[in-house]
């Protein structure tokens, strides 16, 4: 199934529900950054969480940045997700691999580390972005983002994130966010019910792998609570805003002497985009042109 995000409401608008399938974009990230199994799960969960958080923003162009900085060997995760359904991200040490945890699952918590912080930045495209920091709960990402929503945004939420990686690559990835909105937030029983229903699902990827669609999953959770699935299907994809022009612009900042060195010693220059792994090349002729621009002065 294509990567997609679907929204729903229930309980007369008291519950907001959003689900995402992110299998292909997680596989693309895995290939681009040559991620290990555990790094794939960590980045896939973080990118999916970013897309779920961005989906509640209103203004076109809004984005959410998540930065996870724990004390584990993975060395940090970054994801940049937009309301438009695009996402990009990377991890500090993509090749880190760990034995499975006690439940036989990829040990994301140990790879990330339990001691550290989750930084969240919401950018609506103008003014100062809204940023917030919370301590990590488990490093498993889902718990950490739920904790952020409860403490920084005062929203009771239930979040599920899952990435299934096999020898063939990522075969299922996605997530689901249920939020109890302020008008229903006092209803503790409701929050309790939702949390226990989510817990009873025992994982998101098994549902996807058994052929369940997002509306099927919504129905299982909220079918008896006045579920209303919104008809819009938002497509999701891995996308980075880097371009060759930006790469050349960055090279220009090195100055004439450094560019001259690159021509003489390396016959050109090469750079890799941190966010998506794209490799850009500049030939000696390109560099000579940049030197010409610099010598001509600001136009």
Stretch that binds Zn ion, among 8-16, 184-192, 248-256, 276-284 (CB under 5 A): 276-284
Q: In what order do the strands lie in the sheet with 77-82?
A: 130-135, 116-123, 63-70, 77-82, 86-91, 237-238
User: By CB under 5 A, is residue 242 in contact with Zn ion?
Assistant: yes
Stretch that binds Zn ion, among 27-35, 119-127, 241-249, 250-258 (CB under 5 A): 241-249
Measured from the CB atom, is 50 or 174 closer to Zn ion? 50
How near is the Cβ of 242 to Zn ion at its closest, in Å? Answer: 3
Size of residue set near Zn ion by CB under 5 A: 6
Interatomic CA distance for residues 106 and 147, integer angstroms: 21
Rounded to 10 deg, the angle between the 284-296 and 256-266 helix axes is 160
Q: How many CB atoms lie within 10 A of CB 295?
A: 8
Measured from the CB atom, is 35 or 38 closer to Zn ion? 35
How near is the Cβ of 275 to Zn ion at its closest, in Å? Answer: 4
**Residue 170, strand partner residues:** 165
Stretch that binds Zn ion, among 134-142, 240-248, 261-269, 287-295 (CB under 5 A): 240-248
Among residue numbers 246 through 275, which ones bind Zn ion (CB under 5 A)? 273, 275
Q: Binding Zn ion by CB under 5 A: which of 276, 282, 287, 290?
A: 276
- Please name the residues in contact with 112: beta carbons below 8 A apart, sequence gap of 6 or more: 42, 68, 70, 72, 74, 77, 136, 139, 140, 141
How near is the Cβ of 15 to Zn ion at its closest, in Å? Answer: 37
Distances (CA, A) of 31 to 40, 184, 225, 278: 9, 43, 41, 11
How near is the Cβ of 276 to Zn ion at its closest, in Å? Answer: 3
Measured from the CB atom, is 37 or 275 closer to Zn ion? 275
Torsion of CA 136, 193, 162, 78, to 10 degrees: -30
Stretch that binds Zn ion, among 58-66, 77-85, 91-99, 237-245 (CB under 5 A): 237-245
Minimal CA–CA distance to 54: which of 78, 32, 84?
84
How near is the Cβ of 232 to Zn ion at its closest, in Å? Answer: 28
Query: Phi and psi for 130 in degrees, rounded to 5?
Result: -90, 120
User: By CB under 5 A, is residue 240 in contact with Zn ion?
Assistant: yes
Residues that bind Zn ion (CB under 5 A): 240, 242, 273, 275-276, 278
């Amino acid at each position: 199934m294509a990567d997609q995000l679907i929204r729903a409401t229930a309980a007369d608008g008291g519950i907001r529900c959003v689900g995402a399938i992110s299998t292909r974009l997680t596989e693309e990230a895995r290939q681009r950054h040559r991620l290990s199994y555990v790094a794939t799960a960590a980045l896939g969960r973080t990118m999916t969480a970013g897309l779920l958080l961005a989906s509640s923003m209103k203004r076109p162009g809004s984005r959410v940045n998540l930065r996870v900085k724990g004390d584990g060997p993975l060395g940090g995760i970054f994801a940049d997700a937009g309301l438009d359904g695009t996402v990009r991200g990377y991890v500090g040490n993509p090749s880190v691999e760990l034995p499975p945890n006690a439940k036989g699952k990829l040990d994301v918590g140990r790879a990330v580390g339990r001691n550290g912080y989750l930084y969240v930045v919401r950018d609506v495209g103008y003014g100062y972005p809204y940023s917030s920091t919370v301590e990590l709960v488990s490093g498993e990402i889902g718990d950490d983002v739920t904790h952020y929503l409860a403490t920084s945004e005062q929203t009771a939420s239930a979040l599920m994130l899952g990435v299934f990686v096999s020898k063939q690559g990522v075969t299922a990835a996605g997530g689901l966010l249920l939020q109890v909105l302020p008008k229903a937030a006092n209803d503790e029983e409701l929050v309790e019910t939702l949390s226990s229903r989510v817990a009873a699902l025992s994982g998101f990827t098994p549902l996807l792998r058994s052929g369940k669609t997002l509306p099927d999953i919504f129905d299982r959770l909220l079918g008896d609570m006045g579920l209303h699935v919104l008809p819009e299907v938002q497509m999701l994809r891995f996308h980075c805003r880097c371009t060759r022009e930006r790469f050349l612009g960055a090279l220009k900042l090195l100055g004439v002497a450094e560019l001259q060195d690159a021509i003489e010693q390396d016959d050109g220059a090469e750079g890799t985009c941190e966010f998506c792994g794209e490799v850009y090349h500049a030939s000696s002729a390109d560099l000579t042109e940049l030197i010409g621009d610099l010598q001509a002065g600001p136009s």
